[in-house]
Amino acid sequence: MPYTVQEQFMKAISLLYSIVFLTACVSISISDDQYQSASSGVTGCAPKDITIKDQVKTLKPGVMPTWTAVCKGEEYRCSGTQIVQCTKAK
C-alpha cells in the first residue's frame, strides 16, 4: 500500500533531521591539520609551522568553535567555521 502524504512528510522530516545531525557531528571532528590550514591564511604562517591548542568544539547553535594557533612564538585566538578570524593574543 502506498504511503499517505502525512507518512511521506514524516519520512522526509526524519531524513532531514538525520542529515542535520550527521553534518553537526562531522563538523565537530575537525583535525589539527584542518585548524592549521584554516589559521594559515589569517596568521601569515605556513600550516606546518602552526601548533594548535585549546580547541573548543561545540554543537550549540550559534556558538562557533575556537582554538589557539601558535606560530613563531606568537599566539593567535581563532574562531569560525566557513570564515575564520584570528587575533593576536596579548
pLDDT of 11 reads: 66
What are 30-89's pLDDT values in tens digits?
A: 778 888 998 998 899 999 999 999 988 776 777 788 899 999 999 999 988 778 889 998
Confidence at residue 15, expressed as pLDDT on a 0 to 100 scale: 59
Secondary structure string (H, E, C) spanning 48-63? HHCEEEEEECCCCCCC
Mean pLDDT, to the nearest integer, of 12-24?
A: 55
Rounded distance between C-alpha atoms, residue 17 and residue 23, angstroms: 10
Which sequence spans correspond to the domains of the chain? 1-30, 31-90
Q: How confident is the model at residue 12 (pLDDT cuts 50, 70, 90)?
A: low
- pLDDT value at position 53? 92
Q: Is the pLDDT of residue 14 over 80?
A: no
Residue pair 32/52 in contact by the 8 Å Cβ criterion: yes
